[in-house]
């Protein structure tokens, strides 16, 4: 970033006054997280959600280590934990069961299984508590942007004005399509049916049959999901463009084809179909319109990464967009959103491609799977895959520097307790073991903790509001340069 590029958002000379600073299309996990992050900085946010009610498919999703860390950073984790089930962290790459590698000493070294509607509700509640407005039953159908803002059109013809629009409206994103952003990749090659239903045969009979089939068919399971209720996954008969959900008949037919019996399934709670299409948006931002979450990337659910990725996009974007709106961010700061997050999505798409290949029943793929299973006994291989899936291995490119630069800082002990307890307000933080530095004119955006006892093996770190290490050192002038780079001009 060059100082010459630093320009504040235009002052409010808007021809049409903006009622909102940001309109977020879509109240899924990405949209709700983004709205909450923006509200930490007093940004006026409206979420427009097309559905009148929250989603009903009670799919259990896994929150991985980095997402749990984000929740802890904002003081949300204690609220979420009672609703989920903790399992020890593991790479579970291509569903290969292996224990976590040795030496995994993170405070949040587990996977939290939680129903998607519950995590969505908790995130939406938090956004509302912080002051975001949510309008349900309203779909974004059009928009026009100019130099000063975006005019957003809803399905009922109402027009709203905001300074920015963010499409968090899922894989079929209207915002992305209207923006004309390419979404290249591979169409679905296979589809799966997933749902919850009751069964008509004893548990032992199901367990034995399922174990036998899963030796070769990884896209198949019947798992207890409550009293008398099973979660069922089977390959769909083919790939279909139909958006409507499958029927119970589709399940019984596929169960008989693979297992020779339909296990007497009946009384479905919910049924869904999903494919393995893999696509990535060419751009995450055009002018005042941005994309986040599934609107920017889709991939098969193997490894359970989509929701995690979307929530982490929102965490990366929130403070940057807020800084732009508050007037202290350089223009180039907003560009770092795509520069940092698109490569992360690219890597996730790639690991899901690899995992999908390993699920194939072809002899070659099965042989590679056996080989990888052996390799994962090496802790280094196991840890490498775990860091990929859980997103704790991410290192943003902040230029040359020590390995820690650009990485997330774990929740280390500091004299006031845990580091993450100091990040609840979404501000930057100087963690200063020399106890002689200062954040000077940036103290309205950046906190300062002088603590010679902090469990760090470098003198000082500057943390961005998303917990990534933006600077390491002990020199005040060098620190000031980096405060300027990330947090704009100092206040007078």
Ligand X SMILES: Cc1cc2nc3c(=O)[nH]c(=O)nc-3n(C[C@H](O)[C@H](O)[C@H](O)COP(=O)(O)OP(=O)(O)OC[C@H]3O[C@@H](n4cnc5c(N)ncnc54)[C@H](O)[C@@H]3O)c2cc1C
Q: Does 407 bind ligand X (CB under 6 A)?
A: no
Name the minimum Å distance from CB 57 to ligand X: 9
Run of H or E including 36? helix 29-39
Run of H or E including 361? none
Interacting residue with ligand X among 20, 22, 23, 25 (CB under 6 A): 25
- Window contacting ligand X (CB under 6 A); options: 45-53, 220-228, 440-448, 473-481: 45-53
- Window contacting ligand X (CB under 6 A); options: 42-50, 87-95, 279-287, 467-475: 42-50
Looking at residue 468, the DSSP 8-state letter turns out to be: B
Run of H or E including 318? helix 306-326
Name the minimum Å distance from CB 29 to ligand X: 5
| Distance from C-alpha of 165 to C-alpha of 381, rounded to nearest angstrom | 41
User: What does the per-residue mask of binding to ligand X show for 176-215, with x meaning CB under 6 A?
Assistant: ------------------x---------------------
Q: How many residues bind ligand X (CB under 6 A)?
A: 32
User: What does the per-residue mask of binding to ligand X show for 302-321, with x meaning CB under 6 A?
Assistant: --xxxxx-x-----------
Beta bridge mates, 161: 151
Name the minimum Å distance from CB 415 to ligand X: 35
Alpha-carbon distances of 403 from 103, 342, 383, 395, 458, rounded to whole Å:
19, 21, 17, 8, 11
- Window contacting ligand X (CB under 6 A); options: 83-91, 279-287, 300-308, 350-358: 300-308
Q: If DSSP codes are grouped into helix, strand and coil, which group holds residue 231? A: strand
Evaluate whether 36 touches 42 at the Cβ level (below 8 Å): no
- Window contacting ligand X (CB under 6 A); options: 19-27, 355-363, 449-457, 479-487: 19-27
Name the minimum Å distance from CB 32 to ligand X: 8
User: What does the per-residue mask of binding to ligand X show for 98-127, with x meaning CB under 6 A?
Assistant: ------------------x-----------
Strands (E) across 31-158 are located at 45-49, 60-63, 85-88, 110-115, 133-136, 140-145, 150-154
**Cα–Cα–Cα angle for 356, 361, 363, rounded to 5 degrees:** 110
**Nearest partner of 196 among 230, 149, 234, judged by Cα:** 230
- Window contacting ligand X (CB under 6 A); options: 10-18, 48-56, 223-231, 247-255: 48-56
Name the minimum Å distance from CB 184 to ligand X: 19
Q: Which is nearer to ligand X, 29 or 101 (CB)?
A: 29
**Nearest partner of 160 among 133, 137, 140, judged by Cα:** 140
Q: Which is nearer to ligand X, 153 or 474 (CB)?
A: 153
Percent composition of the chain: helix, strand, coil (DSSP 3-state, to 5)? 35, 25, 40
Name the minimum Å distance from CB 169 to ligand X: 4
Q: Which is nearer to ligand X, 128 or 332 (CB)?
A: 128
User: What does the per-residue mask of binding to ligand X show for 142-181, with x meaning CB under 6 A?
Assistant: --------------------------xxx---x-------
Window 236 to 275, contacts with ligand X (CB under 6 A): 274
| Distance from C-alpha of 170 to C-alpha of 185, rounded to nearest angstrom | 16
- Window contacting ligand X (CB under 6 A); options: 224-232, 253-261, 276-284, 298-306: 298-306
| Distance from C-alpha of 133 to C-alpha of 112, rounded to nearest angstrom | 28
Q: Which is nearer to ligand X, 246 or 301 (CB)?
A: 301
Q: Which is nearer to ligand X, 166 or 414 (CB)?
A: 166
Question: Which alpha helices (H) appear in 264-305, and where do they start and end?
Answer: none
Window 56 to 75, contacts with ligand X (CB under 6 A): 59, 61-62
Name the minimum Å distance from CB 221 to ligand X: 12
What size, in residues, is the chain? 492
Find all residues with CB under 8 Å of 313, minimum gap 6, and list them: 30, 292, 293, 296, 341, 345
Q: Which is nearer to ligand X, 72 or 194 (CB)?
A: 194
Name the minimum Å distance from CB 47 to ligand X: 8
- Window contacting ligand X (CB under 6 A); options: 214-222, 257-265, 293-301, 376-384: 293-301
- Window contacting ligand X (CB under 6 A); options: 2-10, 43-51, 259-267, 483-491: 43-51
Evaluate whether 282 touches 291 at the Cβ level (below 8 Å): no
Interacting residue with ligand X among 21, 69, 124, 294 (CB under 6 A): 294
Do strands 285-286 and 266-275 pair parallel, antiparallel, or not at all (unpaired)?
Answer: unpaired
φ and ψ at residue 295, rounded to 5 degrees: -60, -25
Interacting residue with ligand X among 22, 36, 46, 48 (CB under 6 A): 48
Run of H or E including 428? strand 428-432
Name the minimum Å distance from CB 271 to ligand X: 12
Helices (H) and strands (E) in the chain, counts: 12, 24
| Distance from C-alpha of 78 to C-alpha of 91, rounded to nearest angstrom | 24
* Residues that bind ligand X in the complex, under the rule CB under 6 A: 25-31, 48-51, 59, 61-62, 116, 139-140, 168-170, 174, 194, 274, 293-294, 301, 304-308, 310
């Amino acid at each position: 970033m060059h100082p010459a590029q630093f320009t504040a958002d235009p002052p409010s000379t808007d021809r049409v006054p903006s009622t909102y600073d940001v309109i977020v299309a879509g109240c899924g996990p990405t949209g709700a997280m983004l709205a909450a992050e923006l509200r930490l900085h007093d940004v006026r946010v409206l979420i427009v959600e097309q559905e009148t009610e929250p989603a009903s498919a009670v799919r259990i999703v896994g929150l991985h280590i980095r997402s749990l860390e984000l929740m802890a950073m904002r003081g949300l984790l204690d609220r979420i934990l009672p609703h989920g089930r903790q399992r020890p962290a593991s790479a579970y790459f291509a569903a290969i069961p292996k224990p976590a590698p040795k030496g995994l000493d993170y405070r949040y070294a587990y996977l939290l299984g939680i129903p998607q509607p519950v995590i969505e509700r908790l995130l939406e509640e938090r956004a509302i508590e912080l002051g975001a407005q949510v309008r349900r039953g309203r779909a974004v159908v059009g928009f026009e942007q100019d130099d000063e803002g975006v005019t957003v059109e809803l399905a009922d013809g109402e027009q709203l004005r905001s300074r920015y629009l963010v499409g968090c409206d899922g894989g079929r994103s209207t915002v992305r399509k209207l923006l004309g952003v390419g979404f290249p990749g591979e169409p679905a090659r296979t589809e799966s049916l997933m749902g919850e239903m009751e069964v008509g045969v004893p548990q032992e009979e199901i367990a034995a049959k399922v174990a036998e089939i899963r030796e070769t068919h990884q896209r198949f399971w019947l798992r207890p999901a409550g009293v008398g209720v099973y979660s069922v996954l089977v390959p769909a008969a083919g790939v279909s463009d139909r958006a409507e959900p499958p029927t119970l008949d589709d399940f019984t037919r596929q169960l008989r084809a693979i297992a020779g019996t339909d296990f007497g399934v009946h009384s479905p709670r919910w049924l869904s179909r999903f494919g393995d299409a893999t696509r990535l948006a060419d751009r995450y931002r055009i002018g005042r319109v941005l994309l986040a979450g599934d609107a920017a990337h889709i991939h098969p659910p193997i490894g359970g990464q989509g929701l995690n990725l979307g929530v982490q996009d929102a965490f990366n974007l929130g403070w940057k967009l807020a800084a732009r709106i508050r007037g202290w961010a350089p223009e180039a700061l907003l560009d770092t959103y795509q520069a940092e997050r698109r490569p992360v999505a690219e890597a996730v798409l790639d690991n899901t491609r690899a995992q999908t290949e390993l699920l194939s029943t072809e002899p070659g793929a099965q042989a590679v799977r056996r080989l990888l299973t052996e390799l994962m006994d090496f802790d280094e291989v196991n840890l490498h895959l775990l860091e990929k899936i859980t997103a704790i291995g991410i290192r943003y490119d902040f230029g040359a520097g020590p390995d820690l630069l650009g990485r997330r800082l774990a929740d280390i002990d500091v004299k006031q307790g845990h580091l993450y307890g100091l990040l609840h307000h979404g501000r930057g933080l100087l963690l200063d073991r020399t106890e002689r530095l200062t954040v000077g004119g940036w103290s309205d955006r950046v906190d300062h903790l002088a603590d010679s006892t902090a469990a760090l093996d470098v003198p000082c770190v500057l943390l961005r509001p998303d917990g990534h290490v933006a600077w390491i050192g002990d020199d005040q002038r060098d620190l000031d340069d980096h405060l300027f780079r990330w947090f704009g001009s100092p206040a007078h």
